[in-house]
Amino acid sequence: MVRCRGTARRAPTPSHAPVPLIACHECDLLHRVVPLAKGGKARCSRCGAALYQERPGALERSAAFYLAALICFVFANGYPFLSLKIGARMETVYLANSAWALVADGMPLLGLLVLLTSLLFPLSMMVGHLYLLLPRLWHRRPAACGWVFRNLRRIAPWSMVSIFMLGTLISVVKLLDLAEVIPGIGAAFFVAMMLCMAAAEASFDPHLIWPRDAVVDQPTRPHTSALRNGLVACHYCTLLVPIAELDAHGHGHCPRCGGGLHVRKPKSIERTWALLASAALLLLPANLYPVMTVIRLGQGEPSTILGGVVHLAAAGMWGLALIIFIASVMVPGLKLVAFSWLLRTIQRRSAYRPVDRTRLYRIAEAVGAWSMVDIFVVALLAALVQMGQLATIAPNLGAFFFASVVVVTMFAAESFDSRLIWDNLPDP
């Protein structure tokens, strides 16, 4: 059953005739693929996840915005990003300086993380999508289509242009009482790149690359999961493959995109628990160790995440204090609680509000990356404020542990399989 612009269409009665089908990637329910009106979006009738959409000109628009974003990326890196002026002294930084500042301060891994998430992964997203989309304009498919598509899906959560932009805004506000901050041309191009990428991602649909329906040549029962019909959906290109084609361990490869096929993510519950436990342990040093040291006119001391929030609130910057508190304290904590509760309900075979539990998973997965904002703030401040005794900001060990918490919780979200929420429930 597929909802099309608010109206639901009933799935066909059990039939042996081949019908085009798609499985919901969040609850595994099978749906018959129906044509949509222009601008229509098909959502899962059980959990509400978006299945596919019909946007006229999506291919051209998506390709144009990715191309525009790539051009902006070049200029954003070629021109100064921000300048800091204290008295007669002026410090100018380029985009890549934020990652380099962490490396120079003895934190190469943290520098690499900032370099990947703020520059290299966004660049890969632009180049990779153009590699996929441009040949499609001439109805061709590039040679390494499957490999590129799968890796773009993998790195998408790690491309953090918007979060880096929020980190930049917070850094600028934080520095206002210390010095004059002058945005560079690079910053203007970075904003343009962020907007172009957002527009390109909104237009992009995996079905611009792969056909959205899989004609399954076997009897299927409507209102049941792909699993109960003996089918497994490719996590990347949504192709439905008979479970009989997997090996004895339940593993195989998608014949269309080459992605790994599993009935459910391997050892999802155990791996997610292990990652959550690691993140919970890392939260301690992340909050106990200082994240950065601010030296101003020869005076200053290291401050922890909570210490920084209290300092901002005391200085009257309530809005900023609240953003940092939500992103750095509440989000990681609530994410741990949310995923622990979801895992417990799955292990207890609970039938409690599966739609809300799936929604909770969706929200926890989406907001987790925003905790990286504090790391970007530390990186930018460390790059900008290098004026000796006048003013210097240096990253501390707490930033490394906090970044580890964010990375590990993001891996936990990735290893969690939301379809397990629905596996214990009877068919709708």
Q: Give the residues lining the site for Zn ion (CB under 5 A).
A: 24, 26-27, 44, 46-47, 49, 234, 236-237, 239, 254, 256-257, 259
> Quick one: 174 or 207, whose CB is closer to Zn ion?
207
Q: How far lies 319's CA from each of 183, 277, 309, 376, in Å?
A: 21, 32, 10, 18
Is residue 289 within 8 Å of 398, Cβ to Cβ? yes
> Quick one: 23 or 309, whose CB is closer to Zn ion?
23
> Quick one: 6 or 87, whose CB is closer to Zn ion?
6
> Quick one: 27 or 420, whose CB is closer to Zn ion?
27
Q: Where are the alpha helices (DSSP H) in 249-396?
A: 268-288, 305-314, 318-325, 331-347, 354-367, 373-384
> Quick one: 66 or 422, whose CB is closer to Zn ion?
422
Backbone angles phi, psi at 128, to 5 degrees: -60, -45
Residue where the block lists tokens 């005739």 = 17
Question: What one-character-per-residue DSSP string does 150-216 give?
Answer: HHHHHHGGG--HHHHHHHHHHHHHHHTTTSEEEE-HHHHHHHHHHHHHHHHHHH--GGGTS-S-EEE
CB of 264 to Zn ion, least distance (A): 15
> Quick one: 79 or 147, whose CB is closer to Zn ion?
147
CB of 243 to Zn ion, least distance (A): 15
Residue where the block lists tokens 């214990």 = 424
3-state SS class at 391: strand
> Quick one: 114 or 234, whose CB is closer to Zn ion?
234
| H-run or E-run covering 397 | helix 397-415
Q: How far lies 36's CA from each of 33, 181, 206, in Å?
A: 9, 50, 16
> Quick one: 23 or 275, whose CB is closer to Zn ion?
23
Backbone angles phi, psi at 368, to 5 degrees: -55, -40
**CA atoms lying within 13 Å on the CB side of residue 370:** 17
CB of 28 to Zn ion, least distance (A): 7
CB of 385 to Zn ion, least distance (A): 48
CB of 61 to Zn ion, least distance (A): 25
β-pairing verdict for 41-44 and 2-4: antiparallel
> Quick one: 46 or 129, whose CB is closer to Zn ion?
46
CB of 210 to Zn ion, least distance (A): 7
Distance separating alpha carbons of residues 151 and 259, to the nearest angstrom: 10
β-pairing verdict for 214-216 and 180-183: unpaired
> Quick one: 47 or 107, whose CB is closer to Zn ion?
47
CB of 97 to Zn ion, least distance (A): 40
3-state SS class at 233: strand
CB of 347 to Zn ion, least distance (A): 21
Which class for 13: exposed (0-12), middle (13-18), buried (19 or more C-beta within 10 A)? Answer: exposed
CB of 44 to Zn ion, least distance (A): 3
CB of 238 to Zn ion, least distance (A): 7
